[in-house]
Chains A and B, each alone.
Chain A
């Protein structure tokens, strides 16, 4: 108890120095937490993918579509529970700064395949019956201030023209990781317009989402589908949703690795700064440690005092860093939602942050602890005055 009191008072003896160190550690822990979260989010699409969904796409490249006639043939493959064609629409609302993902989908089977997009029965019914209907995620609606019944016009990029929609539903995610920033509308609307304006681009889907009865069936079903369209004009490449998402992630993996490295570098830097502060502090206290040793305190007591002080400061910084992470994450979610639809801090991240803080304190404390506990008394006493 007494030693704890001594440790705490020592830790905040030089107020400014301690506060600066605590804030330094806090900022590093905050940065660490946000960077780790960022990296985690990058893989979120992969993690939130379903093991019972396959994606079939054009084997040459994702930019080439597949004939809509494939849908019914895929539907008949054994083990398939549902198929929905979908096309990346890439519509622009007002300007590029308002970016959000937009898809034209075969609505009925699509919603069946994505139970994590939760709509009320009413919303669903009205949406499915309205050719120009659209549904959007809760976050997107909140950001743009949309209400059900609103008219929304998107400018097509891949599919030219002004496209008018009526908002028929606002879905929310079944899980916290579900993307709530998507804009989804009926593929029929897209297709009918194409038939009238650019007939050669009608009756096509960018990808097919294929539901399978059980995860074990996925490889077999994928193989069957690809075999079916072998040597046809548009060969398919079918893979699990996870593999499909990973192929996107892979393109930017190097950046993610770099960010991961930076997150550790931040910790190493603060470790060096804290170690320097602790070494300076311990050097000033050598005479005090020697005095305690004269009284009969052993190296263990001194070590505890020095190490405890280092841990106290790092821990205080860690706590502050963790506490700051939440408003920071909230700010990112609100202000940068076009890049980070969900910016949630996982319990693992918090644990990692605290662990990093403790490691910083421990490493920073090692050298002064060793110095303090092994200092020869007669030499330590000579430092007085």
Chain B
């Protein structure tokens, strides 16, 4: 890992307010993620993993501290700027796939491309390319309900990478899958890192999943305990 860090997190604090109560979730988090790194974030439930991931992905705002992704301090962006930034720089993979049920696999992957300036033909070329990469060309006209969990997650991965984002973030991507499907997803993510130089931040419970990662960090009650 000789590259400069693509993500720099410094003195990050985040708390949630529940009524009059303030619940601290992340406390003084600082670390870097190098370009091309496969990072696994581990920790017990409620330790703040998802919260941290959301902050890196620019879908939640910090209380204090800075997050710099690709040189951009995302905390300084307005909501609209942040949305634009996400469209160009972040690919999100969810535990429950979050595909749009009324769209086919192909259309689900095409969806984020609508925010780019690509022509219809270019969009279709991109979609076909990533569907081939996740090995789902023969299922592209299926609706999510006609696909297995593993297949749905592969569609979701295709959707996350189709815009060629700066980082991929995944919140327990194998959390809802059986062993075999989980293996498939993990080796796919592994390929994205090794063959395509992607940077991945993955939250996981699963030690098997963490094995694939270059770096494993542990969160414990909002504090980074080891690296």
Residues of A at under 8 Å CB distance from B?
Answer: 2-3, 5-6, 9-10, 13, 287-288, 291-298, 376-378, 381, 384-385
Contact-residue size bin, chain B (C-beta under 8 Å from the other chain): 20 to 34
Closest to A7 in B: B102
Give the A-binding residues of B (Cβ under 8 A): 51, 54, 57, 59-60, 80, 83-88, 90, 92, 94-96, 98, 100-103, 107, 110-112, 114-115, 159, 176
> Which of A3, A9, A294, A376 is the one whose CB lies under 8 Å from B92?
A294
Q: Measured between alpha carbons, how far is A31 from B51 in the docked complex, in Å?
A: 53
Given contacts A294-B90, A295-B112, A296-B112, 4 further A-B contacts (CB under 8 A): A294-B57, A295-B92, A378-B54, A385-B96
Q: How far is the CB of B183 from chain A (nearest CB, A)?
A: 22
A385 to B115, CA, bound (A): 27
Q: Could you tell me the distance in whole angstroms from the C-beta of A384 to the nearest C-beta in chain B?
A: 5
Most interface-central of A13, A295, A297 (chain B CB within 10 A): A295
Contact A296 B96 (CB under 8 A): no
Min CB gap B184→A, angstroms: 21
A287 to B94, CA, bound (A): 11
Identify 28 residue pairs between A and B in the complex whose beta-carbon atoms are under 8 Å apart, listed by A's number. A2-B107, A2-B110, A2-B114, A5-B107, A6-B100, A9-B102, A291-B94, A291-B98, A291-B100, A293-B83, A294-B59, A294-B90, A294-B92, A295-B92, A295-B111, A295-B159, A296-B84, A297-B83, A298-B80, A377-B59, A377-B60, A378-B51, A378-B54, A378-B59, A381-B94, A381-B98, A384-B94, A384-B95
Contacts of B90 in A (CB 8 A): 294
Task: Please give the distance in Å from A224's CB to the nearest CB on chain B.
Answer: 76
Q: A291-B94, A378-B59, A385-B95 are in contact. Are A297 and B115 (CB under 8 A)?
A: yes
**Least Cβ–Cβ distance between B77 and chain A, in angstroms:** 12
Q: Which residues of A contact B115 (CB under 8 A)?
A: 295-297
With a CB–CB cut-off of 8 A, which chain A residues contact B176? 385
Q: Please indicate which of the listed interface residues A6, A293, A381 has the most CB atoms of chain B within 10 Å of its own CB.
A: A381
Quote the shortest CB–CB distance from A16 to chain B (angstroms): 16
Q: Tell me whether A298 and B102 are in contact (CB under 8 A).
A: no
Nearest Cβ on chain B to A200's Cβ, whole angstroms:
83
Instruction: Give the distance to chain A from B60, nearest Cβ to Cβ, in Å.
Output: 5
Name the residue of chain A whose CB is nearest to the CB of B112. A295
Q: A6-B103, A377-B60 are in contact. Are A294 and B86 (CB under 8 A)?
A: yes
Measured in the bound complex, the distance between the Cα atoms of B59 and A377 in whole Å is 6
**Are A384 and B96 in contact, CB atoms less than 8 angstroms apart?**
yes
